[in-house]
Structure 1
Amino acid sequence: MVFKDGEILSIDNDSINIKWTNQTAVSCYSHLWLRDNCRCAKCLHPTSRQKLHSSADVPLNIKPKKVEIIEDDAVFTWNRPLRHGQENGTHVTRYPLDFLKQYQSKTSMDKLRFNDVRPQTWNASEYIMNWVSYDEYMKTDECLNTVVQGLYNRGLVFLKDVPLKEDSCTKVAERIGPVQETFYGRDFDVKNVAKSVNIAYTSLYLGFHMDLMYMDCPPGIQLLHSLKNTVTGGASIFVDSFRAVELLKEKYPEDYRILKEVPVTFHYVNNGHHMYFKRPTIVTDEIHSGPAWDSHVNYAPQFQGPMDDLSPKMARAFYGAFQKLADFIEDPSLRYEITLQPGQLVMFANRRVLHGRTSFDPTSGDRHLKGTYLSLDSLKDKFRVLNARFNYIE
């Protein structure tokens, strides 16, 4: 059966095979999948767009009695009702051809979810500073789109002229999604504190790390807003861990493999809390051959706990691999440094961009940053919604 976008080649007991005009391979659609994804109002709630049946309700021997192409729809008449439905007799499903085309291949499905967009790694000389206006970010979706794509693409974005108010940081975050509250609260203050329960609240050098690796779901995005900064020192430092991992994989593939496989203990046992989680240093999306939504680096030496189950042999392998990655991370050519002035705000991907701070003299003035977090889900959500409206920015 030929239609304007392609041809139905065959229908068997399990599937229908369609040859679309824009691809060479044949697309195979399971009858079970098709019936499960019926678009009619009896199967998909018209306003919530949520399914009204379970996948378990689809009979294993279901197949179409008849298939027609009517205008821009593929119309299926099924040979039996759902297992636990109220229907008697046949059920008719109309699939827009555009819907079927979205699922014609893995490539088309990746485009549907924007999983085909590849982030760009960088070193210090390659990172281009483009200050984003707070007013434009808060008032226009075009500027919001620039920031969201910048967070996905390079993982590091800077805003200027942010009002010097305690709630400005959370307002910037909530433009993307709800803040991710932690045991630090909806937001937190970064300043020198006597008898600190966190090294970040001291004037000491704070080495490269990621926040809250001891949580089940660490924040995806961190924000830091400078409210005061009159001290000597205290520059913010950043490194793209994805670039460090690329260099490790290229030069030391066996060490790269070890850091993907050996789980590291992260913990926070202080101030009435006992947080604990184990995860490997490198989590990568090998299917797409590079960093994507499911790629992370888990690096926070300050919050590593004793490794629970390392044999002496594995300890030597892990520590050797970890040292090699650390050497790339500490390479000055990868390090981007900036001293945030009052009214400036940085947003960065917490499980990609490592951050830290140079030491400062607490007697030389005041330094006060306000911080908060966003979940990675919020960034994904906004990224996909805005990409449906605007073209992706390379």
Structure 2
Amino acid sequence: MKQFRLLRNLSSKSSAVSSAVSSAISSRAVSLFANNRTTTDSSSSSSTTQQLLHQGDAVHQKPCQLKSYSSFSDQPGTEKRVASVTVDPGLRSCHVTWEDGFISQFHSAWLRHNCHSEESRHPNGQKLLKPSSVSCSLVINSAVVKDTSLVVTWSGPNGSHTGHIPTDFLRSHNYNRQTLLDRRVQVKPEPASEIPKVSYDDILNKEGCLYRWIRHINEEGICIIENVPPREDMVEKVAEMIGPVMPTIYGSTFDVEKTPDEINVAYSSLPIGLHQDLVYFESPPGLQLLHCMEFDECVEGGHSIFLDVFDMADKFRVMYPDLFQTLTQVPATFQKVHYDRNLPVHLVNQKPHIKLNHLGEVCAVYWAPPFEGPLAVDANDVEKYYLAYETFAKLLEKGKLLRYHLRPGDLVVFNNLRMLHGRDGFKTNGGARRLRGCYLNIDIFKSQVQVLHNLEGDGRLAKRVGNQCWF
């Protein structure tokens, strides 16, 4: 198995890793951010960071000590000691009061499922507990802090058990309502005002530049690497700095150029409207990389265009809440049905254009007009769907485009699930315009973002990437 450059570049430093857990707060499909855009310390910090990144300055790195196997990062200031523990009269939950005055409530079943005793959890973090053995009527007989753990004794229909949970685990994974709301602010990306750029040589040789490039992609959704050697294998090599290339029906890599056999509009010189690639897959590719191999001076047009669809979906919700709701409930048909090719394909996937989490936040958007099949829904939904569809399409046309004329050696990397992309039509005039591309899995990318935040950064949370994760 290939070792990817990202992993090879990780230093021996490590950071505390933990997070707030998600809990159902509201089933109402109303965005927390459509109606509440107040400025917080977190959002202010994010703005400062974006300015830093655009200026090309080094990203501040905070060395930390790895504490646990948890999947998400610990936020600064959460290393607090317990002041007191109180078991509720009903014995079904306990309240932990921390020295900084913060109060967490933990239910008996939650504590039992997160017990760190040897029979409940392996040292590698995997749960060994049999789910059916934990009754929802479990009661807490006692809960006391010993050293750095909360020691709990439970009893229920299946007998009693005494176990422990580290206090830093409890603080990091508390499900206090404010903690959950704060997390939403931290993971929400802000739209980019311009396309950030980094140098390929800097990524290879400058400390912190690989991390800065990865952050650009996560936080702004797009980044251009300049001066990438114009070799056929370079797009794959750059991709492997993050993770393995994701093969699709187009192979591991593909060329985008005008060809006599235009089996895809991308292989013509026609303009291509804003869209996402391969949305007819259950899990479309996350990152797309396009390396400009040829773009002759005589070629007219062909500029690349990008638009943050997360931002546009939020605007759509505020302007047309009823139409927004329609696009979250009435499913579109996405398809790729093509038999006249080396690998015949018949892919049909029905799903709504916009998917929400339990808080009503947008966690995924799908938009690919060239690859939409006939609508197949109840007759009562047809007209309202097309009204919502038309209105959203018109709003996208008014969005602030990021436009860029790629030159040989430029390699653009963008989040295919967040950034709609397209291009202007062009005339070759006897020249050539050729891009070489590949895809990466979005979950692998988000994982590597969090790894770098934890091991080389300040432990912040990765921004939402459109992989349908409800966090």
Contact 1:232/1:365 (8 A) holds in 2: no
Query: Of the candidates 93, 96, 103, which is equivalent to residue 173 of structure 2?
Result: 103
Offset at 1:107? 4.6
Assess, with a 3 A threshold, how the Cα gap between structure 1 residues 323 and 286 changes in structure 2: closer, same or farther.
Answer: farther
Aligned counterparts, 1:65-214, within 5 A = 65-79=141-155, 91-104=161-174, 105-108=176-179, 116-122=186-192, 127-138=193-204, 142-214=208-280
1:1-394 → structure 2 map (5 Å cutoff): 4-11=81-88, 12-22=90-100, 26-46=103-123, 48-59=124-135, 62-79=138-155, 91-104=161-174, 105-108=176-179, 116-122=186-192, 127-138=193-204, 142-230=208-296, 231-270=299-338, 271=341, 272-285=344-357, 287=359, 290-291=361-362, 295-311=363-379, 314-331=381-398, 334-389=400-455, 390-391=457-458
Distance 2:160 2:316 in 1: 59
Q: What is the deviation of 1:358?
A: 1.3
The superposition leaves residues 354-394 of structure 1 with CA deviations (integer Å, 9 ceiling, x where unpaired) of 10111122343112111111222112212222222413599
Residue 157 of structure 1, CA deviation: 1.2
Q: Secondary structure at the match of 1:183?
A: coil
Are residues 93 and 110 of structure 1, via their aligned partners in 2, closer, same or farther at CA, if it must alter by over 3 Å? farther
Equivalent residue of 1:219, what SS? coil
Give 3-state SS (helix, strand or coil) of 1:388's partner.
helix
Checking the alignment, whether the CA contact within 8 Å between 2:195 and 2:402 is kept in structure 1 is no
Equivalent-residue separation in structure 1 for 2:170 and 2:358 (angstroms): 27
Deviation at 1:8, TM superposition (A): 1.2
TM-superposed CA distance for 1:210, in Å, is 0.5
Give 5+ residue unaligned stretches, structure 1: 84-88
CA distance in 2, matches of 1:198, 1:369: 14
Task: Tell me, in whole angstroms, the C-alpha distance in 2 between the residues paired with 1:184 and 1:129.
Answer: 27
Higher mean alpha-carbon deviation, 133-142 vs 145-154, is at 133-142
Query: Is this contact kept in 1: 2:82–2:98, CA < 8 A?
Result: yes
Q: CA deviation at 1:30?
A: 2.3
Could you tell me whether the CA contact under 8 Å between 1:138 and 1:175 is conserved in 2? no
What is the RMSD of the two structures over their aligned residues, measured on CA atoms?
2.8
Displacement of 1:119 in angstroms is 0.5
Q: 1:246 to 1:74 in 2, by over 3 A?
A: closer
CA positional deviation for 1:97: 1.1
Question: Counterparts of 1:233 and 1:66 in 2: how far apart (Å)?
Answer: 72
SS at match of 2:347: strand
Does structure 1 retain, via aligned residues, the 8 Å contact 2:87–2:142?
Answer: no
For 2:319 and 2:178, how far apart are their aligned partners in 1? 31
Aligned equivalents of 1:206, 1:197: Cα separation in 2: 14
Report if aligned partners of 2:81, 2:98 keep a CA contact under 8 Å in 1. no
> What is the alpha-carbon distance in structure 1 between the residues aligned to residue 418 and residue 285 of structure 2?
11
Give, in whole Å, the separation in 1 of the partners of 2:230 and 2:184.
36
- Structure 1 counterpart SS, 2:292: strand
With 50-59 and 259-268 compared, the bigger mean Cα shift is at 50-59
Given that residues 40 and 93 in structure 1 are in contact (C-alpha distance below 8 angstroms), is that contact kept between their aligned partners in structure 2? yes
* Contact 2:85–2:144 under 8 Å retained in 1: no
Aligned to 1:86: none
Letter of the 1:252 partner, please give it. Answer: Y
Q: 1:95 to 1:157 in 2, by over 3 A?
A: same
Shift of 1:263: 0.7
Q: Whole-Å Cα distance in 1 between the matches of residues 94 and 314 of structure 2? A: 42
DSSP-derived class of the 2:248 partner = coil
Contact 2:149 2:167 in 1 (8 A): yes
What TM-score do you get using the length of structure 1 for normalisation? Answer: 0.85
Q: Kindly provide the CA deviation profile for residues 53-72 of structure 1, in whole angstroms up to 9, marking residues without a partner as x.
A: 32223355544544332222
List per-residue Cα deviations over 1:195-244 (Å, max 9, x = no partner).
22211111111111100111111112111111111132211111122232
2-structure distance, mates of 1:285, 1:53: 28
Compute the displacement of 1:342 (Å): 1.0
Larger Rg: 1
Task: Give the counterpart letter for 1:15 in structure 2.
Answer: S
Find the residue that maps to 2:208 and give its secondary structure: helix
SS in 2 for 1:75: strand
